[in-house]
Amino acid sequence: MVNYKDLGLVNTREMFKRAVAGGYAIPAFNFNTMEQMQAIVMAAVETKSPVIMQVSKGARNYANASILRYMAEGAVAYAKELGCAHPEIVLHLDHGDSFELCKDCIDMGFSSVMIDGSHLPYEENIALAKQVVDYAHQFDVTVEAELGVLAGVEDEVSAAESHYTKPEEVIDFSTRTGCDSLAISIGTSHGAHKFTPEQCTLVNGVLVPPPLAFDILHEIEKKLPGFPIVLHGSSSVPMDEVETINKYGGHLEAAIGIPEEQLREASKSAVCKINIDSDSRLAMTAAVRKHLAEHPGDFDPRQYLKPARENMKKMYIHKIVNVLGSDNKLANCD
């Protein structure tokens, strides 16, 4: 059993309070590999941004739970080595699907967990979230719960259709669960294919998806003033990365994400955590495909993973500075 504080990590409480008050959002980037982790830390240090490094159940199975715990400890040490004396790094479980998984992560040094009971009946979602909160809070670990269902794949849970969060439920849900933040459904979804071309409008040759349900977000904010809100499924699916992938042998059709302008707007509200995974996958894959196509004789992983890491770092910095606005927001930037 290890507490996250012993690993130099922080929970989300203070950073969310500052983000809601300051009108910006904290980036929550998923990682499975060392290169992703390095790129996240480099970007956070360069921009002096707090950051949430998150792992799904699938990522944990892929990378191994013990290795991840040491990677998180390594991330803090690496940030300091890069010159950040007071990094604010959260290790977060993304889409925890059971009390046992959340407990295991808390016991292994995670500073924050998500319990995703969004697919369960309302009362069961509350009971499960409360069970996790009661355990997590004993160790000062913060808990994200979800109300409303996102379309797409959430680890091993998938839903064909989204169900927007009902604003009339949020006070009861957050009070009875005691959760520290609430993930809501207002039109985002997971993966690189968030909308079909038929759902979009063609503007100047670009497919523009329908806007997020900001009216629902604002109603939720009115019911829960200052309460931290989380947006999942917030990759923008940059067209240049998709084009690079397709140019160098890939086959990604009709990949459409959330326009960054909408995420910029959401960041100014009580939305204080924005989840991005697919954009990292696209940045990595585009760079690897390009490198291998241009250097067919290369077979040392460092030759193609270095440009992949650089491309992810560039993307993370762009999100932090130009979309979420979390740059220079460390409590202590020295």
The catalytic residues are 94
Which residue number, 47 or 278, has a Cβ lying nearer to ligand 13P?
A: 278
Q: Which of 116, 143, 145, 139 is CA-nearest to residue 7?
A: 139
Per CB under 6 A, 209 contacts ligand 13P: no
* Minimal distance, residue 291 CB to ligand G3H, in Å: 24
Name the residues that contact Zn ion, by CB under 5 A. 232
Name, in order, each residue with C-beta under 8 angstroms of 234's C-beta and a sequence gap of 6 or more: 188, 258, 263, 274, 275, 276
**Which of 32, 278, 285, 326 touches ligand 13P (CB under 6 A)?**
278
Which residue number, 84 or 315, has a Cβ lying nearer to Zn ion?
A: 315
Q: 229-231 and 181-184: which strand pairing?
A: parallel
CA 201 to chain centre: 27
* DSSP letters spanning 124-169: HHHHHHHHHHHHHHTTT-EEEEEESB-BEEETTEEESS-B---GGG
Q: Residue 155 binds which entry of ligand 13P, ligand G3H, Zn ion, none, with Cβ cut-offs from 5 to 8 Å by kind?
A: ligand G3H
Residue 113 CB-half CA count within 13 A? 33
Q: Which stretch binds ligand 13P (CB under 6 A): 84-92, 241-249, 274-282, 298-306?
A: 274-282
CA–CA distance, 24 with 325 (Å, rounded to integer): 5
Per CB under 6 A, 181 contacts ligand 13P: no
* Minimal distance, residue 154 CB to ligand 13P, in Å: 7
Q: Residue 58 binds which entry of ligand G3H, Zn ion, ligand 13P, none, with Cβ cut-offs from 5 to 8 Å by kind?
A: ligand G3H
Name the residues that contact ligand G3H, by CB under 6 A. 30, 56, 58-59, 94-95, 154-155, 190, 277
- Determine the size of the site formed for ligand 13P (CB under 6 A): 14
Count Cβ neighbours within 10 Å for each residue of 224-256 and write b for 16 or more, e otherwise: beebbbbbbbbbbbbeebbebbeebeeebeebb
Q: Which of 77, 89, 67 is CA-nearest to residue 11?
A: 89
Which residue number, 154 or 180, has a Cβ lying nearer to ligand G3H?
A: 154
* Minimal distance, residue 115 CB to ligand G3H, in Å: 14
| Binding footprint of ligand 13P on the chain (CB under 6 A) | 30, 94-95, 190-191, 232-235, 275-279
